[in-house]
Amino acid sequence: MGLNRIDLLIISAYLAGITLFGLRFRKRQRTMRDYFLADRDIPWWAIALSIVAAETSTLTIISIPGLAYDSNLTFLQLVMGYLVGRVVISFVLLPQYFRGELYTAYQLIERRFGPELRTVTAALFLLTRAAAEGVRVYAVSIVVSIALGTGEVASIAIITLLTLIYTFEGGLAAVIWTDVVQTFIYVGGTLVGLVTILHLVPGGWGSVATIAGALHKFQVFDLHFFNTAAPAHWPYLNFAKPYTLWAGIIGGAFLTTASHGTDQLIVQRLLAARNQRQSVLALLSSGVAVFFQFGLFLFVGVMLFAYYRVPSAEFGRADRIYPTFIVSRMPHGIAGLLIAAILAAAMSNLSAALNSLASSSIVDFYLRFGAGGRSGSHPKLSEAGRLRLARLATAGWALVLFALAVLALHRVGRVVEVGLQIASVAYGALLGVFLLGVLTKRANQSGAIVGMICGFATELYLWGWSQVAFTWWVAIGTCVTFAVGYAASTLLRDELKA
């Protein structure tokens, strides 16, 4: 069926409207604090919705339905772990972040260990966040190229440019408030899509329940802790299967503690809250919203299977099923709304990445080392100068992410898992260092660096040469980093800090 003028008008209106809305916040940006922390004056509910939007991207909306199409609802076990991780952050890490005026997560590392480790952790964030975000931006091209018929590179360029415009001008305030609008758009659009799919399946919900139930597609829990194929006298833990209850709760908790507690992408939003209590409220409520959201996307995938009843290979890849259905089967108007919803998720995630990458680049590197500066700050650099540098860094990272997204074309598998895998490679080392800092007094900078190197090397091995599922990588990397770092610190007492 394809899109018609009504659909294209809806998509164009969304792109123009959200860009202009974001530009409204330009006049509020007078200092670097305004640009990177929104003057710490954002209400908790807006931060909660922004967190949801920041961890949701195009790859989430198109790949999670594809995952359920091929399997079932067991991905929700990982989301349950996300809730546990948020509780850990609220009690362990957030109290540390609200002691003093911090702009980035890695300033906490310097306060506890020293400047060298701050540099290492911030650099690791920049490298892995940029790589993971490149995959997410690439996912935009799948949707736009199917919907509009534009080339993949042109699709990436359009979304990157429009997102850059309001992020460049409005800073974190523009990012958060456009996230709020975009969250309502893509969740509302997905709900409309869910109802529409249900009406298009012959026999309605009864048919969906029969088809999906017979193939166990409503299964949520997988309780297999041991590999059932192992000999009876020597069972071993099933680390190769990504979506079991144990991998979900344990692995998901470690993954979220790292991603929301050590990654500047989320920490920056938590630091923008008016106080610690509101930050905790925003974090915990976002977990409830994320659980609902992933359940929604998974049900879309189950219903799409009931509609098509063919292997995902017939679409080329599972990630193409949902956007293909929207363009070819959805009524006009609704199709345009759903494409706009997917673009909303893409732009909200990209804007979050641009602002967090820029903040870490400026605060953790340029203001410490740039232009001949010493560790600390540039006494001669005015607030206007810092604001100008922040905007230039935002534009620079937009170019980097565009290039990485182009490189990712035809080089990745199911994009949601690739994005999680790239992030997971670094998260264990980062979380291990943070836990060494806040849970122990014996750990020192030299020992923490040794632990971080060992943890990161372990995760690289898990990624490239093992059969261990990515859901376990962060937990394993964290334990290795913490254990080695603590042991090494007892041997390297010369830098021990109280």
Neighbours of 384 (CB within 10 A): 11
Residue 366 clears pLDDT 60, i.e. is over it: yes
Q: Give, as one character, the DSSP assignment of residue 217.
A: T
Residue 140: both structure tokens together: 């935009």
Query: What average pLDDT score do residues 229-249 get?
Result: 68
* In-domain check, residue 421: no
The proportion of the chain whose per-residue pLDDT surpasses 70, expressed as a percent, equals 90
Residue 148 clears pLDDT 50, i.e. is over it: yes
Determine the residue type at 460: L
Write the pLDDT tens digit of every residue in 282-334. 999 999 999 999 999 999 999 999 999 989 888 888 888 998 888 888 888 88
Range of the structural domain that residue 222 is part of: 5-409
- The CATH number given to whatever domain includes residue 194 is 1.20.1730.10
**Cβ atoms of 79 and 290 closer than 8 Å:** yes
* In-domain check, residue 264: yes
Cα torsion through 168, 173, 175, 178, rounded to 10 = -120
Residue 250: both structure tokens together: 């344990």
Give the integer Cα–Cα distance in Å for 169 and 342.
Answer: 23
| Exposure on the CB side of residue 148, measured as CA atoms within 13 A | 24
Q: Which of 170-174, 391-395, 492-496 has the lowest mean pLDDT?
A: 492-496
What lies within 8 Å, CB to CB, of 13 at 6+ separation is none
* In-domain check, residue 79: yes
* In-domain check, residue 101: yes
**Cβ atoms of 408 and 135 closer than 8 Å:** yes
Query: What average pLDDT score do residues 141-169 get?
Result: 81
Give the per-residue pLDDT at 334. 86
Confidence of residue 384 (pLDDT cuts 50, 70, 90): confident
* In-domain check, residue 381: yes
Can you tell me whether residue 42 is helix, strand or coil? strand
Residue 227 clears pLDDT 80, i.e. is over it: no
Residue 233 clears pLDDT 70, i.e. is over it: no
Give the per-residue pLDDT at 318. 86
C-alpha triplet 43, 47, 51: angle, nearest 5°: 175
Domain count within the chain: 1
Residue 371 clears pLDDT 80, i.e. is over it: no
Query: What average pLDDT score do residues 191-207 get?
Result: 90
**Cβ atoms of 474 and 428 closer than 8 Å:** yes
List, as one string, the DSSP characters of 371-389: GGPPSS--TT--HHHHHHH
* In-domain check, residue 485: no
* In-domain check, residue 416: no
Give the integer Cα–Cα distance in Å for 334 and 194.
Answer: 11
List, as one string, the DSSP characters of 108-163: HHHHHT-HHHHHHHHHHHHHHHHHHHHHHHHHHHHHHHHHH---HHHHHHHHHHHH
Can you tell me whether residue 237 is helix, strand or coil? strand
Residue 46: both structure tokens together: 């807006």
**Which of 401, 325, 350 minimizes the C-alpha distance to 147?**
325
For the entire predicted model, the pTM comes to 0.88
Average pLDDT, the chain: 86
Give the integer Cα–Cα distance in Å for 59 and 138.
Answer: 9
Whole-number Cα distances in Å, 254 to 28, 90, 161, 215:
37, 14, 34, 31
* In-domain check, residue 496: no
Give the integer Cα–Cα distance in Å for 419 and 130.
Answer: 11
Give the integer Cα–Cα distance in Å for 60 and 381.
Answer: 41
